[in-house]
């Protein structure tokens, strides 16, 4: 059988594509000094861990599961409530509410894990606000990655 070369598009590259396609969405990346299974166990535990590393979320409850597709209801500290449609599988998570788009991607790199977080908002003036949202997104993304690192350390 012919083996033509195939490009390898890992989940982090896919998340970069998503961020590039959505105005104002930002991807922040890091490398954790922990194996993939350990990192993803924390990142993908949306009900218990996500409120620990996403500062605006107080609670998140999964209300429906159908394979890799989930539905969740989130409550924020400022009284915000939102329903999220989610796709979750090993190394890949995308969440979308009416106003927010979130995503996570992870790739094993020997004993370390390359990790990326995507944050974005859907606003009427999104394109005009995109540069400001991008700046805010980088700061917020870095904060989320730091908190997630802390949760990974705590669980190990």
Q: How far is the CB of 101 from other proteins (least distance, A)?
A: 4
What does the per-residue mask of binding to other proteins show for 74-113, with x meaning CB under 8 A?
A: -----------x-x------x-x----x-x----------
Q: Is 25 in the site for other proteins (CB under 8 A)?
A: yes
Helix (H) or strand (E) holding 114: strand 112-121
Spell out the long-range contacts of 85-89 with Cβ–Cβ below 8 A and sequence spacing 24 or more.
86/46, 88/44, 88/46
Q: Using the rule CB under 8 A, which residue among 58, 73, 75, 122 binds other proteins?
A: 122
83 vs 155, beta carbon nearer other proteins: 83
Task: Name the phi and psi angles at 105, rounded to 5.
Answer: -140, 145
Distance, in Å, from the CA atom of 14 to the CA atom of 58, rounded to the nearest integer, reads 28
Q: What's the token pair of residue 46?
A: 């949306």
Contact present, 97 and 83 (Cβ < 8 Å): yes
13 vs 61, beta carbon nearer other proteins: 13
Residues making contact with other proteins (CB under 8 A): 1-10, 13-14, 16-18, 20-22, 25, 85, 87, 94, 96, 101, 103, 120, 122
């Amino acid at each position: 059988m012919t083996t033509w070369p195939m490009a390898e598009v890992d989940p982090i590259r896919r998340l970069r594509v998503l961020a590039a396609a959505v105005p104002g969405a930002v991807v922040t990346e890091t490398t954790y000094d922990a194996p993939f299974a350990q990192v993803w166990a924390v990142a993908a535990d949306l009900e218990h861990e996500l409120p620990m590393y996403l500062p605006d979320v107080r609670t998140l409850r999964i209300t429906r599961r159908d394979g890799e597709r989930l539905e969740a209801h989130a409550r924020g500290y400022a009284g915000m409530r939102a329903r999220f449609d989610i796709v979750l599988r090993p190394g890949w998570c995308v969440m979308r509410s009416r106003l927010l788009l979130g995503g996570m991607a992870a790739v094993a790199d020997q004993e370390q894990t390359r990790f990326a977080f995507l944050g974005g908002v859907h606003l009427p003036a999104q394109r005009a606000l995109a540069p400001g949202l991008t700046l805010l997104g980088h700061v917020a993304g870095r904060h989320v990655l730091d908190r997630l690192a802390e949760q990974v350390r705590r669980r190990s």
